């Protein structure tokens, strides 16, 4: 192994696929060769799963690099990156593996190419234990625009567990340098909206029931806002059967929060609507500026940005701590986390501050 190769322990902290995504993306962007060992060591099925393998192969192709040890079940891989180049890239795990997670790894890399990049990502668009594609478009995308990141997301086909079959085409514009962001003032919640959907053979009534249950739950705490959660039947643009809901809250200062849930066999649809509503309420009670799902997704962009970024959060998640650990290993970024007491509402929030590495795109 080359002496300049950085060793990454895949079992630390969160110990899952996130370590792969963040470290492989930063490897490609910084040109640092990495060896990741003990991949997903604590999981019930350790090593690479199809979606992880597919993500690594996508990054290898984007940077014309070499990838060793990349087979399903492998617990050690080595990535030696080449030069990031624009073009069209396809990633298809041939499972319901999350499209959103494939994008998490590849989007930062596409920003550091020489021209527009098109990513055709296949799999599950609305998968469990991962951001729904609606979250990516409605929450992540507008916040990333604050860094200067611009991408288009064309949802050509929705795919659900267990079949997958979804397809999203993402077009990413490169950037010379990311700008830092400040999100410390939540303001007041001004809008709540979303979508409840059914696809395939499932009856439309299920979508209406999810929406009704969600609105009823939110109404118990928030009485003065119009809540708009239309019910939708996905027909032509859906592969397989599925149902779910996403609810988004927007604040007066442009902060975005979401709660979502997917239907499962044997679970009453009312419960799906209530679960999404309760997740949303939990994330707006604390007066942070990002929800628990966004905080870790912003870390890589804060680390790459030119300047100091600050975000206010509720409890810092293990995913976020893991992303910070990897970002500090692979870049010159420095993070600090400090407690922030809100005397008025007796809310404990945290400020995550990052002195970014200020990486410039060498291809522009």
Per DSSP, the three-state class of 226 is coil
Query: Hey, what's the torsion of the CAs at 191, 171, 119, 179, to 10 degrees?
Result: -70
DSSP state at residue 145: G
Task: Determine the length of the chain.
Answer: 364
The question of whether 319 is a catalytic residue gets the answer yes
HSE toward the beta carbon, residue 109, CA cutoff 13 A:
35
Task: Confirm or deny that 293 is annotated as ligand binding.
Answer: yes
Beta bridge partners of 169: 120, 154
Task: Confirm or deny that 233 is annotated as ligand binding.
Answer: no
Alpha helices of 82-204 — where are they, by DSSP H?
A: 99-110, 133-135, 141-144
Class of residue 201 by CB neighbours under 10 A (exposed 0-12, middle 13-18, buried 19+):
exposed
Task: Confirm or deny that 197 is annotated as ligand binding.
Answer: no
Task: Confirm or deny that 329 is annotated as ligand binding.
Answer: no
- Determine the Cα angle at 268 with ends 265 and 274, to 5°: 120
Task: Confirm or deny that 104 is annotated as ligand binding.
Answer: yes
Active-site pick, 150, 319, 325, 355: 319
| 322 contacts 296 by C-beta, under 8 angstroms | yes
Enumerate the known binding-site residues for ATP. Answer: 104, 293-297
Known catalytic residues are 319
Enumerate the known binding-site residues. Answer: 104, 293-297
């Amino acid at each position: 192994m080359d002496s300049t190769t950085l060793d990454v322990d895949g079992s630390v902290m969160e110990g899952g696929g996130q370590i792969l995504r963040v470290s492989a993306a930063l490897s490609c962007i910084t040109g640092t060769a990495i060896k990741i060992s003990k991949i997903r060591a604590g999981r019930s099925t350790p090593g690479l799963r199809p979606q992880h393998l597919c993500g690594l192969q996508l990054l290898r192709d984007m940077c014309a690099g070499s990838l060793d040890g990349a087979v399903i079940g492998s617990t050690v891989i080595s990535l030696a990156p080449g030069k990031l180049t624009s073009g069209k890239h396809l990633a298809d795990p041939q499972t319901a593996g999350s499209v959103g997670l494939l994008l998490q790894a590849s989007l930062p890399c596409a920003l550091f190419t020489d021209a527009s990049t098109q990513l055709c990502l296949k799999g599950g668009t609305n998968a469990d234990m991962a951001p729904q594609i609606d979250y990516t478009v409605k929450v992540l995308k507008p916040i990333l625009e604050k860094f200067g990141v611009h991408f288009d997301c064309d949802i050509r086909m929705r795919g659900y567990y267990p079949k997958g079959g979804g397809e999203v085409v993402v077009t990413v514009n490169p950037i010379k340098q990311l700008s830092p962001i400040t999100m410390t003032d939540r303001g007041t919640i001004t809008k709540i909206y979303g979508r409840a959907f059914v696809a395939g053979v499932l009856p439309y009534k299920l979508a209406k029931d999810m929406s009704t249950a969600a609105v009823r739950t939110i109404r118990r705490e928030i009485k003065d806002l119009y809540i708009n959660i239309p019910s939708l039947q996905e027909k032509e643009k859906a592969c397989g059967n599925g149902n779910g809901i996403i609810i988004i809250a927007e604040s007066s200062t442009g902060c975005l929060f979401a709660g979502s849930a997917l239907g499962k066999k044997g679970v009453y649809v009312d419960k799906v609507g209530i679960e999404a509503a309760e997740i949303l309420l939990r994330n707006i009670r604390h007066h942070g500026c990002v929800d628990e799902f966004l905080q870790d997704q912003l870390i890589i962009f804060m680390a790459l940005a030119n300047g100091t970024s600050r975000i206010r959060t509720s409890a810092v998640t293990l995913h976020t701590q893991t992303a910070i650990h990897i970002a500090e290993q692979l870049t010159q970024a420095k993070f600090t986390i400090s407690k922030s007491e809100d005397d008025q509402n007796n809310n404990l929030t945290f400020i995550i501050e990052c002195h970014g590495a200020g990486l410039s795109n060498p291809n522009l």
